[in-house]
Amino acid sequence: MIFNPLTRIILPIVSLILAFSVLAFQHKENHKQSNEKQLQNGVTVVELFTSQGCSSCPPADELLATIKNEQNVIALSYHVDYWNRLGWKDPYSDADFSKYQRAYAKQLNSGVYTPQMVVNGQTEFVGSRKSSLQKSLKAKSNVTALKNPKVKRTANKMSFDYEIDMNKEFNFAYALLVLEEHITNVTNGENSNRKLKNTNIVLQKVDLNKKMAKGTGEFTIPANAETGATYRVAIIMQDKNLKILAAGCSSLG
């Protein structure tokens, strides 16, 4: 068969269009299957209580960083404020996070210390203990995976759409603004003259309307945020004993 010059030009173009269409369809299907798998398997929520003023915390911070992108894992870093009196004020510390940790200590019969990891609001261990973390991640999680909140970023705002599970008997439902990563030059305290990298840092928390299955919310990006900083929004549901019942986390924005 002899093709005229125009046909020789058109056929490769058509073939490329068909190939890209197939790839796009496969990507969409893979993404759909990944989301369905996540919703089916549940998630594991790992909360690290840490401080830049604590010399024992950097190994735990590094350990948390190794799991932050694992499928079906939501890793969160809460910076407490009770180390601030020893020479270095952690810029991400918050008295409310210390209060939250004390509430866990009461429920889990643990001391208040750093670094501490709490998994699904039910078990706790020293935050730098890799074997304990791996064991927790391998265990079946009963935390329901919520649909990942959809986020929209502007210059100084992070808006989000979310859904919560109204079939759960929950007491708390809230959203968290999470900074993906930051490196801090520490000049005083136990970690003086060190560069510390923290990941998935919880910056802000807002309570959600417990009577609404769906809703929208908004965070204000910190005024001192670095150019190029990226954020996630996490949704957490807990019962009266702080057991985590359901959770979801957005992609980066």
Domain range for 47: 43-249
pLDDT tens per residue across span 179-237? 999 999 999 999 999 999 999 999 999 999 999 999 999 999 998 888 889 999 999 99
CATH label of the domain that carries residue 241: 3.40.30.10
pLDDT at position 225 is 87
pLDDT at position 13 is 57
> Is 20 part of a structural domain of the chain?
no
pLDDT tens per residue across span 19-75? 444 444 454 444 444 444 444 569 999 999 999 999 999 999 999 999 999 999 999
> Is 7 part of a structural domain of the chain?
no
pLDDT tens per residue across span 81-133? 999 999 999 999 999 999 999 999 999 999 999 999 999 999 999 999 999 99
Of 136 and 6, the one with more pLDDT: 136
**Cα 158 to Cα 75, 219, 230, distances in angstroms:** 20, 5, 10
> Is 143 part of a structural domain of the chain?
yes
pLDDT tens per residue across span 131-177? 999 999 999 999 999 999 999 999 899 999 999 999 999 999 999 99
- pLDDT bin (cut points 50, 70, 90) of residue 11 is low
pLDDT at position 15 is 54
> Is 89 part of a structural domain of the chain?
yes
> Is 146 part of a structural domain of the chain?
yes
Q: Are 214 and 184 in contact (CB under 8 A)?
A: no
| Token representation of residue 54 | 């604590």
| Number of folded domains that form the chain | 1
> Is 226 part of a structural domain of the chain?
yes
> Is 32 part of a structural domain of the chain?
no
pLDDT at position 224 is 86
pLDDT at position 242 is 98
Other CB atoms within a 10 A radius of the CB of residue 35 amount to 13
> Is 5 part of a structural domain of the chain?
no
